Structure 1
């Protein structure tokens, strides 16, 4: 068994890219944590069982506990010579049913799931019916309050473009790092003094999928930790009439987490896709 974690550029080592879908309900988020079941740790264990190598797959972003994915991307370096199709099948046999590998491919050694990304799409799903069916309750925020959808759409449009999103960043005191503005991560990876909270949002909108499902869709170059969930929580305050849609500009300019709304629950958030 290989104890050392492989590095890109080592002789005989090749780069790999995986596209994953998962139900995040029973995992403590993406990132490996002591004594916690995580997506990253479960994937690393499966790769080790198949190849004998211990790798640490790097995700395009560190989804929080309870957040789901349809198109998470992971990359890692591996020495084992195994055809991609065989590796793909073996991974899905080794992983729990709540994690599926949609694609497995050998890539250039310099490919990195996070650093090579240029865009990411999220959805936040809200069930609007009176009684949420149990078979979807893990994957939506059940909320049947009266909402002013026109006001929510007006507020969502305000965040399109390049803005300082400090008002929508997590305020966790134990986060030590926050991501630089040219990286793509839904987790703050560099919270040092002076780190930028400026991000660019390409599109931001609310869609009624049917009479019971309301979906917030956002496409951006990068996201701060809890940014999408904090945006959704604020938009819901607008929809309930607690905040005027015209206040969104003031909230952005405040650069203070206390100016924005509450954090929406993790279960409604989906990482849809990552662009390279």
Structure 2
């Protein structure tokens, strides 16, 4: 039963949530009939806790099996409830795979998809084999849920060269999967699809026995990060030259780039909004 202490109000109350979740057992962020999703689970718990039909709006959609450390969502309620009580009440009812890290009251016009300055993602690879060796490392089960257990020997240096070539403003059509929902929204609005994005940082790191790709940009197209990673893996395994990125970008065709990396290695790390920092020029440098 909903908590009877949460009184309704004539004014709307808007909240900003920061979420972490293990996406392994969920069919992505966006609510879908008969499927367990992050957004759908949040809506159900809100209904059970507050007694309101409210649909949290995320800063972006994560796909089936993708995780988050810093997803942002906006939520508007009629219930007159302090942010700290809402935070505790939701975490008590949410499954352990989903946690609200922060909850704060924000102006009514805040929306998680508006005024995003940049987003940061990480993709984690467990390198099963070392170049030049026939031995295979064992990817432990608790790592395999959150990283790609890649069977090909990879050279990190050419992957880093490829990642650096992505920094700047480019048309990322070659790294974009088909997105029927986005196409439909563009047709309804009468605006052409825009696949131009700006990448501020793009690098590969060797960290805790993993190869980690970290990328920050203004926004990301459907499967864009996973397609970049898949291309970098083909470069690291020697199947694509390390200087191919400019030509792949120029082609503006999906088949010019590499295959799509599996979802479990992808983690949404952080979303920064224009009002989060006093100097937006520094933030985008």
TM-score, normalised by the number of residues in structure 1: 0.89
Is the deviation greater in 128-137 or in 96-105?
A: 128-137
Write the deviation string for residues 37-62 of structure 1: whole angstroms up to 9, x where unpaired.
00000001111111111111000000
Write the deviation string for residues 83-115 of structure 1: whole angstroms up to 9, x where unpaired.
211111110111100000001111101111111
1:141 aligns with 2:148: yes
Count of residues in correspondence between the two structures: 257
Q: What residue number does 1:202 align with? A: 200
Counterparts of 1:222 and 1:171, CA distance in 2: 16
- RMSD over aligned Cα, in angstroms? 1.9
In our comparison, the structure showing a higher alpha carbon Rg is: 2
Question: Is the 1:124–1:217 contact (alpha carbons within 8 Å) kept by the matching residues of 2?
Answer: yes
Q: What residue number does 1:7 align with? A: none
Q: What residue number does 2:181 align with? A: 176
Helix, strand or coil at the partner of 1:24: coil
2:164 paired residue among 150, 157, 160: 157
1:124 aligns with 2:131: no
Counterparts of 1:190 and 1:225, CA distance in 2: 14
Counterparts of 1:271 and 1:246, CA distance in 2: 27
TM-score, normalised by the number of residues in structure 2: 0.86
Counterparts of 1:44 and 1:163, CA distance in 2: 37
Residue segments in structure 2 that go unaligned for 5+ positions in a row: 3-8, 129-136, 274-285
Q: Structure 1 pair 36/241, CA: closer, same or farther in 2 (3 Å)?
A: same
Write the deviation string for residues 231-259 of structure 1: whole angstroms up to 9, x where unpaired.
00000010011111111100000000000
Question: Is the 2:127–2:154 contact (alpha carbons within 8 Å) kept by the matching residues of 1?
Answer: no
Q: What pairs up with 1:40-79 in 2 under 5 angstroms?
A: 40-79=39-78
Helix, strand or coil at the partner of 1:112: coil
Question: Is the 1:233–1:264 contact (alpha carbons within 8 Å) kept by the matching residues of 2?
Answer: yes
Helix, strand or coil at the partner of 2:35: coil
CA positional deviation for 1:205:
0.2
1:227 paired residue among 218, 224, 236: 224
Q: What residue number does 2:104 align with? A: 105
2:247 paired residue among 245, 250, 254: 250
Q: What residue number does 2:83 align with? A: 84
CA positional deviation for 1:144:
4.1
Counterparts of 2:164 and 2:12, CA distance in 1: 46
Helix, strand or coil at the partner of 1:42: helix
Counterparts of 1:109 and 1:170, CA distance in 2: 34
CA positional deviation for 1:176:
3.2
2:272 paired residue among 246, 252, 275: 275
Between Structure 1 and Structure 2, the one with more helix by share is 2
Counterparts of 1:77 and 1:258, CA distance in 2: 42
Counterparts of 1:40 and 1:11, CA distance in 2: 25
CA positional deviation for 1:190:
4.0
